[in-house]
Structure 1
Amino acid sequence: MDDPTPPTQEMQVPRRLALTLDFCLRIGEVLLSSGAGAADVTATMLSVARALGADGAEVDITFTSLTMSHQAHVDEAPLISTRHVVQRTIDYQDLTRVDHLVRDVVGGRLGLHAGRDELRRIVSTGHDRPRWAVTAGWATMAAGVAVSLGGDVVVAILAALAAVLIDRSQLRIARRRLPVFYQQVAGGAVATLVAVGAALLDERLDLGLDVSQVITANIVMLLAGIGFMGALQDALTGFYITAGARITEALLSTAGIIAGVSGGLSLAGAVGVDLPTVRAGATGIQDVTVAVAGSAVAAGAFAFASYSPLRALVPVALTAGVAMAISLSLQDPGIARAWAVALAAFFVGLVGYAVARRLKVPPLIVVVSAVVPMLPGIAIYRGLSLLSEGSSRNTSYGLVHLIGAASVALAIAAGVILGEYLAQPLAREARRVETRLAGPRLVGPAQRLTARGRGRRGRGDRPAA
């Protein structure tokens, strides 16, 4: 039998191109599953492709799948590769490592084969902190939120206990591959049942507990994992299909929280436990200093529980504390909560890029963690409490509070993204028949390589159609 023919140069080029597209798709999968916006994922994939010589690559993203194609000439068949996003988890450690990998490839310090080996090592290597430490991080976050709401030590301990039970129950449900909606239902129900137990204990011992703060703190914990930021960023940058899917996912996750908490409130009413609807500790902050400190602890703990690099914890906590101080200071003279929170989130977006650049982490880690204490847990609990009372008047008030919660979530995301727009250098670029505004980069390098090899400000590709 004749010896196999050695591969020629013509045969090696398509093989390298296929490896390049696969490498870019795997990078995009990690970024998209970690909450990065579609524009950031698109621009990052194109930056890597061009750095590796695939200048004519195109990217299409539809939330659950990524497609990348390359056509060298119009008379040649294009090479098309697709990869599906199977799992969505908040993992800022892998996100940071992949971000550094992308910068090394774009900067020419790493080639295709070395980059693929490094990416395999990143996604196959475990985390540098044990799972029990992550559970402790969620507990600390819930306790911090409870303190920021005016809760005492007992309330903070109860909130931490509920957070531990929620995390372990959600982990067990996730291992059974049940949808996120049911995980959120279980989380809301566990938080409310812990509050019911605390209320029964309070009736016997007269401890003066405000168990509404326990529920509110854990609502914030459950809201923290929802990708509001990425959804709004996709909508503002023109990726409407991905934005619609992410908004649907966020609404479904929030509906799960509402279902779990409302079920717990109904059970409380059935057994004769009167959970508070509105109390001072749950509706207003008496001590701004304590609120700021609690917010800082909550933000740092969320970053820790999301596997953020340890060097980012203190800066994230400080940024969150200042943002909470801004929000409370603006609400004090009577400015609406949505506007106050939006301006505080604008501050986070404005400083988040500079902080992330100094820490050498993606800005997404800083901004998402820092706005966690401002999530509308209070408004959701108020609305559900009023709806559970059944009267038409309270039902109307409850719906108003839930709508207010949605407006606060929207204000947070819009404020952060506007701050990022102004913090990062912007440029208008004309591409064929369309002109696009280069948006803020929450993930990926600020520079990309063009076909001529010159550095240029990163931008996203066309929105997915």
Structure 2
Amino acid sequence: MTGERVVGDGREVNLVLDFCLKIGEMLLSSGAGAADVSVTMRALAHHFGLAQAEIDVTFTSLSMSVQPDPEASMVVAIRQVKLREIDYEDLTQTDHLVRHVLNGDLTLTEARRWLARIISSGHHTPRWAVTVGWGVMCGGVALQLGGDVTVLVIASLAAMGIDRLQLFLAKRRLPFFYQQVAGGGFAMLLTVAAVGVGIPVDPSLVVTANIVMLLAGIGFMGALQDALTGFYITANARLLEAVLATAGIIAGVSAGLSIGGLLGVDVGRLVPGRFGIGDFAISAIGAAIGACAFAFSSYAPRRSLLPIALISGAGYVIYLSILTNDFDRPWAAGVAAFAIGVVSYPVASRLGVPPLVLVVTGVVTMLPGLSIYRGLSLLADGGSGTTPGLLAMFTAASVALALSAGVILGEYVAQPVRRNARRLEYRLAGPRLIGPSRIRGRQRSRRSRVDEA
């Protein structure tokens, strides 16, 4: 890959480093994997003439160093990633900016102005609509698990209350662990209130739907994906985040149960996540609704919502079909994720969105958050629950690994191989869920160009 030009003075080097780091921060904070962030930053640096740039990506920081001349001092820049939330609108806009830059359509100054507009502009979707989206997601999950209308309504109300409560706490800079405690406690207290006034509802179904909402954004699958691509420090950090988030929910649910007991309300035995396989069509519709609502709440482009619903519903049917034929959960999840990965790549190209948007939302209803919750709950009880707890944690790890491996393998199979692209794709060490994936070289021009993925 030939850079657009060779960077000259130190001021220009600093501007390139700053631009690359801001792009990396936008991608990493919006949900991209460490490998994709690293490749994108390296491609941009090379395009602007910094062919020997060294890049390091961790969970909360980005660093970039370059030595333009062997006799010159090394220039090092570091940027902290302070805010992390799934934001597919910013992710898509940043991805489009990167592709325009690598196509040679923008100068460094123009690209920096475009990036500043992305950072400073808000979302087209109002915040109240996002709250409603979370409610619809939990309603879809409740439908997926076989809940009736009462369960759907209470789960949706609890989800909207949780979202507003966590938003309130986040504005006051309360750590994420305590936000999860508050979310789990709110879901349980609302369930206790429903049971206390005599509403016939299954508490386990309501709490399960809300646990899926609270754990939808955790990085357990992303942690294993980073591990598979060689970013072990980031993988460990994401794994710890997932464990702490789940522990917070356990604490909140336990507190809600205790308060219910003090008030004399008996909700019975609470067993989140242990439900049989119901009607395929109803479960698939619930999965499609849940995935679509999750994508909407994560600011995914509107044009991608219907394809996400179809892909997720079809993937969940594949998952259930394999699961009912005496295959283990990891195999069922892996095959379904592989199918989603194969389909998502060409569909994302048609829609003009990163494949990551379709892939993550497509598998969100199969993420093993409930297994993590169950495993940690059993381990916390100790005694006879230790062995089942370890088995549940092992199952969660196996399912997450199967989902990550299936998605990556699906991208390998789906990614088209074109002439003059094989050498770059080999250097990128596999498919990308966001960022540059293949380059077209031109002998008459030194500009590098990236095909629209």
TM-score of the aligned structures, taking structure 1 as reference length:
0.87
In 1, distance between residues paired with 2:109 and 2:389? Answer: 57
1:414 aligned residue (383, 386, 405): 405
- Given that 2:196 and 2:265 are in contact with CA atoms closer than 8 Å, whether structure 1 keeps it comes out as no
Corresponding residue for 1:98? 94
2:112 aligned residue (109, 116, 124): 116
1:51 deviation in Å?
1.7
In 2, distance between residues paired with 1:50 and 1:111? Answer: 14
- Secondary structure of the structure 1 residue equivalent to 2:9: helix
| Structure 1 position 62 matched with structure 2 position 58 | yes
1:298-317 matched pairs, under 5 angstroms: 298-317=290-309
Corresponding residue for 1:4? none
1:429 deviation in Å?
6.5
| Structure 1 position 21 matched with structure 2 position 17 | yes
- Where in structure 1 do 4 or more consecutive aligned residues deviate above 6 Å? 384-388, 426-430, 449-452
- Given that 1:215 and 1:381 are in contact with CA atoms closer than 8 Å, whether structure 2 keeps it comes out as no
The one-letter code of the counterpart of 1:417 is I
Corresponding residue for 1:45? 41
- Given that 1:52 and 1:111 are in contact with CA atoms closer than 8 Å, whether structure 2 keeps it comes out as no
In 2, distance between residues paired with 1:258 and 1:422? Answer: 39
- Given that 1:195 and 1:212 are in contact with CA atoms closer than 8 Å, whether structure 2 keeps it comes out as no
- Given that 1:350 and 1:419 are in contact with CA atoms closer than 8 Å, whether structure 2 keeps it comes out as yes
In 2, distance between residues paired with 1:86 and 1:378? Answer: 28
CA RMSD, Structure 1 to Structure 2 (Å): 2.9
- C-alpha distance 437-102 of structure 1, shift in aligned 2 (>3 A): closer
1:137 deviation in Å?
0.5
Corresponding residue for 1:242? 234
The one-letter code of the counterpart of 1:441 is R
The one-letter code of the counterpart of 2:205 is Q
In 2, distance between residues paired with 1:130 and 1:211? Answer: 31
1:407 deviation in Å?
3.1
How many residue pairs get matched?
A: 440
1:392 deviation in Å?
4.4
Cα offsets for 1:362-401 (capped at 9, x unmatched): 111111111111123554565577679x694456445533
- Secondary structure of the structure 1 residue equivalent to 2:86: coil
In 2, distance between residues paired with 1:183 and 1:100? Answer: 33
- State the identity %: 56
Unpaired runs of at least 5, structure 2: 1-5
Corresponding residue for 1:461? none
Cα offsets for 1:177-196 (capped at 9, x unmatched): 11111111111121222222
Corresponding residue for 1:3? none
- Secondary structure of the structure 1 residue equivalent to 2:399: helix
- C-alpha distance 130-286 of structure 1, shift in aligned 2 (>3 A): same
1:57-206 matched pairs, under 5 angstroms: 57-201=53-197, 204=198
Corresponding residue for 1:231? 223
- Given that 2:177 and 2:245 are in contact with CA atoms closer than 8 Å, whether structure 1 keeps it comes out as yes
In 1, distance between residues paired with 2:393 and 2:184? Answer: 16
1:241-390 matched pairs, under 5 angstroms: 241-270=233-262, 271-277=264-270, 282-379=274-371
- Given that 2:246 and 2:372 are in contact with CA atoms closer than 8 Å, whether structure 1 keeps it comes out as no
- C-alpha distance 366-248 of structure 1, shift in aligned 2 (>3 A): same
- Given that 2:292 and 2:306 are in contact with CA atoms closer than 8 Å, whether structure 1 keeps it comes out as yes
- Secondary structure of the structure 2 residue equivalent to 1:80: strand
In 2, distance between residues paired with 1:382 and 1:451? Answer: 55
1:266 deviation in Å?
4.0
Corresponding residue for 2:431? 440
- C-alpha distance 384-155 of structure 1, shift in aligned 2 (>3 A): farther
The one-letter code of the counterpart of 1:273 is D
Corresponding residue for 2:3? none
TM-score of the aligned structures, taking structure 2 as reference length:
0.89
- Given that 1:149 and 1:282 are in contact with CA atoms closer than 8 Å, whether structure 2 keeps it comes out as no
Cα offsets for 1:396-427 (capped at 9, x unmatched): 44553344334333332332223223323589
